[in-house]
Amino acid sequence: VCILDAQESRGLGDVYKRQSWESIMNEQHERHSCIEARQDGLWQILHQLNQSTGQQFTTHRTKAGFSSYLNFYQPASSESHADRLVVVTQATADRLHKLEPLLSVWQAPVSVAVYITNGENDLWPVLSAIKANPVLSKWAYVHLLFGVGTPYPVNSLRNLAIQGSPSGSILLMDIDFRPTASAEVFHRIVREQRAQVPADPDQVLFVLVSLSSN
């Protein structure tokens, strides 16, 4: 049995102290085999999804070893977004609906990496949510990162969303946040501020204030 969940892994250090090196390596090999089996299962599901939807996806693997689908969904007008300011965010499949209030204000592209933990049980709701929501369909670039019992990999998700952004101008934001103005307003402020910088304007970092409210 391979332990993939962080909750189940507590105390493994003490267990390893009482084991031989050979038994530790055997357990690691079994765990790796289990992960590969789960990945293979996910690829089979995705292959079926390709056939049923008629869409063609390309499988990638992140530096951390996660399997991912870049551009699982992208808007039809994606070519016109190259010069836009893009929000980069990440979420689990059950929180994708949080994009709607964000996009209702932002009114511009969002690149979101979705953490898939339940295989087909997550894939179909994600695809259905996008197709059923005109706001998501118009603006959301959706990428998938497949978990195999690991804790929430926020860095890998963020990097995948950055990689999938249709523009090099990005704004990192939690999916729970809501901007106070549209992307057009933000972009105008950025252009005005960059014009006032005597140094290389491409080397400017903008820090935004976030406020909480009930």
What is the reported pLDDT for 169?
84
pLDDT, average across residues 111-134 = 86
Percent of the chain with pLDDT over 90: 28
Cα–Cα distance for residue pair 13/132, rounded to 1 Å: 47
pLDDT digits (tens, 9 = 90+) for 140-151: 999 999 876 678
Query: Locate tokens 């530096």: which residue?
Result: 63
C-alpha distances in angstroms, 211 versus 66, 170, 180? 33, 20, 10
Q: Provide the residue type at 37 as one letter.
A: A
CA distances for 137 relative to 42, 75, 104, 142, 161, angstroms: 24, 6, 12, 10, 17
Rounded CA-CA distance 45/54 in Å is 14
Q: In this predicted model, which residue has the larger pLDDT, 44 or 201?
A: 44
User: With bands split at pLDDT 50, 70 and 90, how would you rate the model's confidence at 122?
Assistant: confident
Location of structure tokens 């929501």: 133
Average pLDDT over every residue of 111-128? 86
**Integer Cα distance of 162 and 32 in angstroms:** 28
| Cβ atoms 112, 99 nearer than 8 A | yes
The dihedral of CA 45, 48, 54, 57: what is its sign? positive
Q: What is the pLDDT of residues 47-81, one digit of tens each?
A: 676 666 555 555 566 666 677 888 888 888 756 77
> Cα–Cα distances in Å, from 127 out to 115, 122, 158?
13, 9, 20
